[in-house]
Amino acid sequence: MPATIPVDVYEEFEKGLGKDELLGAIRKEFVTRELFEERMNTLKVELEGKIEHSRTELEGKIDKLNQKFNFIIILMIIALTLMNPVMAEVIKGFLK
């Protein structure tokens, strides 16, 4: 956010600090701010990349767990169906 100061205040700073020292301080402030913003943008990009990588990795693991869970459910249904005498009679009826 840009800030302005009145000319008379700037002139007083210039008298007290000297023109070169004042300009050096101003330049240093801008460079520091620019470096900070650049570093923050770099960190933001890195963080977004890590988050996307983690998301992809987790989605892969969730898919594998879903497949295992579905397989277990199917096995349980088959086991319960085959062990149930009533269901065995129904199957025999379909096979005849």
* Whole-number Å distance between alpha carbons of 81 and 39: 63
Note whether 82 and 88 are within 8 A (CB): yes
pLDDT score, position 2: 63
| pLDDT string in tens for the chain (96-residue length) | 566 788 888 888 888 888 887 888 877 777 777 888 888 999 999 999 999 999 999 999 999 999 999 999 989 888 887 788 887 788 788 888
Alpha helices per DSSP H over the chain: 7-17, 19-83, 85-95
pTM score > 0.85 for this model?
no
Instruction: Extract the tokens encoding 63.
Output: 């898919």
